[in-house]
């Protein structure tokens, strides 16, 4: 961002809201390094592929065929380790193909499968996520499929890779992209209704009616 980048008209309100929430709920901001943030696995061109099974862990027997089709040949690393906590997230990126896979609630199923190299490996299952075929030309969000699905792990519809801070960036002392962060409150109460914060592109998902523009926006 350049020094003369224009500020949002609500910038002062947003910053005040952010500082208030940090003081009220935490006392200081924190950076997640495991729980709530996925590890990024960068795999080579010759990484053996394997199917990751769509599994709705709380609803046995459910299937989402368009999502399963995206997970039939995943270059899954042998040392995959999802984030800790209930979300169990993971990101796999293959620079040689420009493809990226996201997984939510991903874990071993207990079964064995054979990968593309003919090796018997643990089967992994995930409850949601997606595959992005060309991240270099992606507009910045998970594009709605012809079937009407919005895949991806985050509720905002923005890929994890866009906002994650890497160890290399911290060591260099430079983060040349947006930074994703979570707030305890991004909505306000309106009687029995929860009003979602206003959205700023490329955010594309919304769970409830919109709140006034003074509420910290979801990007």
Q: What is the pLDDT of residues 42-85, one digit of tens each?
A: 999 999 999 999 999 999 889 899 999 999 999 999 899 999 88
Q: CA 61 to CA 55: how far, in whole Å?
A: 8
Please indicate whether residue 19 or residue 185 has the higher confidence score (pLDDT).
Answer: 19
High-pLDDT (> 90) share of the chain, %: 40
* pLDDT surpasses 90 at 115: yes
Q: Identify the pLDDT of residue 118.
A: 97
131, β-bridge pairs: 101
- pLDDT digits 0-9 by tens, 190-217: 444 434 455 455 555 544 444 444 455 5
Q: CA 67 to CA 72: how far, in whole Å?
A: 9
* pLDDT surpasses 90 at 90: yes
pTM given for the model: 0.80
Give the range among 33-47, 79-93, 126-140, 171-185 with minimum mean pLDDT: 171-185
Please indicate whether residue 44 or residue 165 has the higher confidence score (pLDDT).
Answer: 44
Q: CA 150 to CA 45: how far, in whole Å?
A: 27
Q: What would the mean pLDDT of 90-103 be, rounded to a whole number? A: 96
Residue where the block lists tokens 């919109």: 210
Q: Identify the pLDDT of residue 202.
A: 54
Q: Identify the pLDDT of residue 35.
A: 72
Please indicate whether residue 9 or residue 42 has the higher confidence score (pLDDT).
Answer: 42
Contacts of 102 (CB under 8 A, 6+ apart): 38, 89, 90, 91, 129, 130, 132, 151, 152, 153, 159, 160
33 closest CA partner among 169, 175, 166: 166
Please indicate whether residue 210 or residue 28 has the higher confidence score (pLDDT).
Answer: 28
Contacts of 97 (CB under 8 A, 6+ apart): 45
């Amino acid at each position: 961002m350049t020094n003369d980048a224009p500020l949002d008209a609500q910038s002062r309100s947003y910053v005040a809201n952010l500082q208030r929430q940090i003081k009220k709920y935490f006392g200081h901001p924190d950076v997640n390094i495991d729980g709530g943030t996925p590890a990024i696995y960068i795999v080579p061109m010759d990484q053996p592929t394997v199917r990751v099974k769509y599994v709705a862990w709380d609803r046995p027997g459910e299937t989402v065929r368009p999502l399963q089709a995206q997970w039939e040949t995943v270059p899954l690393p042998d040392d995959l380790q999802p984030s800790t906590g209930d979300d169990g997230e993971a990101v796999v990126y293959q620079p040689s193909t420009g493809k990226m896979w996201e997984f939510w609630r991903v874990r071993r199923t207990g079964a064995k499968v054979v990968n593309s190299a003919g090796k018997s490996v643990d089967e992994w299952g995930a409850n949601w996520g997606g595959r992005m075929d060309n991240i270099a030309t992606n507009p910045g969000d998970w594009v709605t499929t012809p079937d009407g699905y919005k895949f991806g792990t985050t509720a905002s519809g923005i890929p994890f890779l866009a906002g994650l801070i890497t160890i290399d960036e911290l060591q260099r002392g430079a983060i040349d992209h947006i930074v994703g962060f979570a707030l305890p409150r991004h909505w306000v109460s309106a009687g029995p209704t929860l009003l979602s914060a206003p959205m700023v592109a490329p955010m594309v998902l919304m769970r409830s009616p919109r709140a006034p523009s003074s509420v910290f926006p979801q990007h």
